[in-house]
Structure 1
C-alpha cells in the first residue's frame, strides 16, 4: 500500500501542476484557475461522506482498487483532451469534479485501513511514514512537471500520471482483503448522521477539523502560484514553489521521532496552524524568490506538524466501527479548506494583486486560528495519556492482540 501510494502521489502531482498551468494558458485568468476549487467542492462533500460510510460497510481493499482504476481513466481523458489540436476548457473542470468524487470515495478507505494493521502505539510513526510518501511525490512530481512541461509539453505530464495509476493498481492487488465487520450496516444517511453526531460530541475532534479548515481557507494560495512566479520574475521557479512545502514537510517527517514524546497533541495542532499562517504571510511580503521558497518550506513543515498530531488524535481515539465514517469527515476537514482556499486566493488576487492575496490570507489565518483556539478548551487540554477515548482504544487493541496470539 505504501509503495502504491508513492507511485500514485508522484503521478498525481504531475497533473496537479499541469491543470492550473493549462487553465492559465487557456484563459489567462487567476479567477478561472481558482474556480477549480468550486467545481471540486460539492463532489468532495457528497462522495467524501458517502465514501466514509461505504468504507465501514464493504471490503476496503476492493473500494480502493476500483476507485484507483477510475482515477486512471480520468487522467487518460485529460491526456486525450490535451492532444487535441485545440484543447477544450470544459473537460478540465468536468474531470476535476469527477476526480474529486472518486477521491472522496477512496481516501476514507485508505485512511481507515491503517489502524487495522498497525499497533496502537506505533500509529504516529505510521502517520509520519505515510506523510513521507506524500512528500517524496510532492517534491519529485512538481519538479519533474516543471521540466517536462517546459521542454516536452503538457501531454507528457498527463501520460506519466496515467502510467502511475496503472502501476499503483497492480501493486494494490497485493493488499490482503479488509472486509467490513459482520455487524456493519449498509451505507445510509442514518449511518452518516451517527458518525457526524459522534464527531460533534467530541469537541477535541471538532477542534482539529475547524482549525485545519480555517488555516487552509485563508492561507492556501497554490492556485495562484503560476501568477506569483510571473510576479516575481521567476517563471522557472513554478515547480519549486509547489515542491517547497513538501520539502519542509519531509524535513519534519525525517526528524519526527520527537513526536512520540509529545502528549498534548491539541496544542501542537494549534501552534502549527499559527506557524503555517505566519510563514505564508511572510512569503507574500517578500520579493526575493529564494526567500519566498524558504518560507513556503517553513509553512510546509508547520503543516506537517499539524497533520501529524491531528492524525494521531484521530487514529488513537476513534473506534474501528466508526473509522470509515469519521475518516470521511476528516477528509472533508482537510480537503474543503484547500478547495475554498483556491477560490479565495484566486478571487482576491483578481481584485487586488497576487502577493496581497498571499500575505493577507496568512494574517487572516493567524487571527482566525487564534480565535478558534480560545474557544476550544477541550482541544487545548487534550492529553493522550489521560484522555478516556485514547485509553479505551488502547484496551481494545491490547485485547485484540491477545486474541490474535491465542489463535
Structure 2
C-alpha cells in the first residue's frame, strides 16, 4: 500500500473507456501511431479487392486474396513471435515495418503504372501479411513492458477499440475515394494515403525505448534463437498452461462456428432486397465492438476475468444466433452489434490474460499464436458458413452455428474449469517463476 488511495470512479466514469494508459508517454505514442496506421490500412483493405475484381471480373480471384493473406500469417505469426522473444522488440518492429512499407510502395507503384497483374497483387498481399504478422506479435508483446500490469486490460481495450473504430470509419472514407474519382486515380490515392498514415507507426517505433529480451531464469545465459525449436518450446508451454490454452480454444470455437460474415451478401439480397443492407451487415459487428470499447471502463476492474470471458463468448454465439432469426434489418444490425460488443469484451480479456499470466520470455511466441488465432478463426468461419449454407441453407448455417458455438464453449470450460477459476488477482507468470 502506498498510502494514497485512488478514488472509486463514479457515474459515467465507471463505464467510460479507461484512458489511464495514455498517461504513459511510450504507450501513448505507440497507440497513436498504430491507430493512425490502422486507419490507413483500411484504405488498402478496400482497394486491393476492388482492384482484383476490376482486373479479373471473377470473385474467385478476390477469394484468393484471403488465402494469400492467411498462409504468411500462419508461418510468420509463429516465427515473428519467437523473434520478439529472442531479439529487441523495438528492432523487430522496425524490420517488420520496413517490410510493410515495401509492400505499400509496391502496391502504389503497380497502381500508378497500371501493371494489371492479379498474381502480383496476390504476392504483395502475402508480403504485407508477413510484415503484419511479425509487427503485430512484437507490438502487442511489448505492452506489459510499457505500462504497469494493472493497466494492461485498459491498454488492450484501447487497442481493440481504435482498431474497430478504424474498421468502421476507414472503409467509409475509402468508399468516398472510389465514388469521387475513377479507378485509375482512386487506387493510387488509396495506396498513397496508406503509406502516409503508416509513417505515424514508424515514428512511434523510432521513439520507443529499447526492449531487449529479459533474462531467462531457467537458461544458461546463452542468446535465444528465433528458430523452430523456439516455436516448439512456446507451443509446448501453451499446451501445458490450461488457462491460456482454453482461452484460445473457445475463441476459435466462437469464430469458426458462429462467424456469419460469408452469409451477409446472400441474406442481404434475399431478406432485404440488397442495396445498402449488405453494407450495414458488414459494419454491424464493428460498430458494436467500437461502442463496447467506448463503454469499457468496467473491464479493468474485473477480477473473475476467466468467468466473464466465457460469458462473453457464449453471449457472442447467442446474439449471432438471434440475429440470424431477425426479419427486420434494424433488428439484425442491432443484434449483430450486441455480438460485436461481446466479442470486444472477450478479445480484451483474452489478450489481458495472455499478457499478464505468461512470463515475458514467452509473450512474443504466445502473441504469435494469438495472431494466427485472431486472423485464422474468422477465415475458417467464412469457409464453414459457406459450406453449411450450400448444404443446409443460410438459416441453419447462421443460427445453428451461433447456438453450437455457445454450447460447445460452455461445455469445454465446464469439463476443464481452469479458465473459470482464473482471477486477475493471481500473480503473473513472470512472478511465479
**Equivalent of 1:384, from 381, 405, 424?**
424
On the 8 A contact 2:137/2:367 being kept in 1, the answer is yes
Q: Describe the superposition over 1:171-208 as per-residue Cα deviations: whole angstroms up to 9, x where unpaired.
A: 43222222233644121222222211111111111001
The alignment's TM-score, normalised by the length of structure 1, stands at 0.85
Give the 3 Å change call, closer, same or farther, for CA 135–218 of structure 1 in structure 2.
same
**Equivalent of 1:256, from 273, 276, 296?**
296
- Structure 1's unaligned 5+ residue stretches are 397-407
Secondary structure class of the residue paired with 1:175:
coil
Q: Describe the superposition over 1:221-280 as per-residue Cα deviations: whole angstroms up to 9, x where unpaired.
A: 445645555553344355544433222122222222222332221222221112222222
Give the 5 Å matches for 1:7-406: 7-23=36-52, 33-82=62-111, 87-152=116-181, 153=183, 155=187, 156-181=189-214, 183=221, 184-222=223-261, 225=264, 228-231=267-270, 232-349=272-389, 357-385=397-425, 387=426, 390=427, 393=430
Give the 3 Å change call, closer, same or farther, for CA 199–276 of structure 1 in structure 2.
same
On the 8 A contact 2:287/2:337 being kept in 1, the answer is yes
- Structure 2's unaligned 5+ residue stretches are 1-29, 216-220
Secondary structure class of the residue paired with 1:123:
helix
Give the 3 Å change call, closer, same or farther, for CA 355–138 of structure 1 in structure 2.
farther
On the 8 A contact 2:359/2:428 being kept in 1, the answer is no
Task: Tell me which residue corresponds to 2:25.
Answer: none
Give the 3 Å change call, closer, same or farther, for CA 279–157 of structure 1 in structure 2.
farther
Displacement of 1:27: 6.0
On the 8 A contact 2:359/2:430 being kept in 1, the answer is yes
Query: How much is the aligned-residue C-alpha RMSD, in angstroms?
Result: 2.9
Work out the CA distance in 1 between the residues paired with 2:386 and 2:121.
17
Displacement of 1:21: 4.6
Work out the CA distance in 2 between the residues paired with 1:48 and 1:321.
16
Displacement of 1:5: 0.5
Displacement of 1:327: 1.4
On the 8 A contact 2:152/2:356 being kept in 1, the answer is yes
Displacement of 1:314: 0.9
Number of equivalences: 393
Task: Tell me which residue corresponds to 1:404.
Answer: none
Task: Tell me which residue corresponds to 2:7.
Answer: none
Moved more, 375-384 or 232-241: 232-241
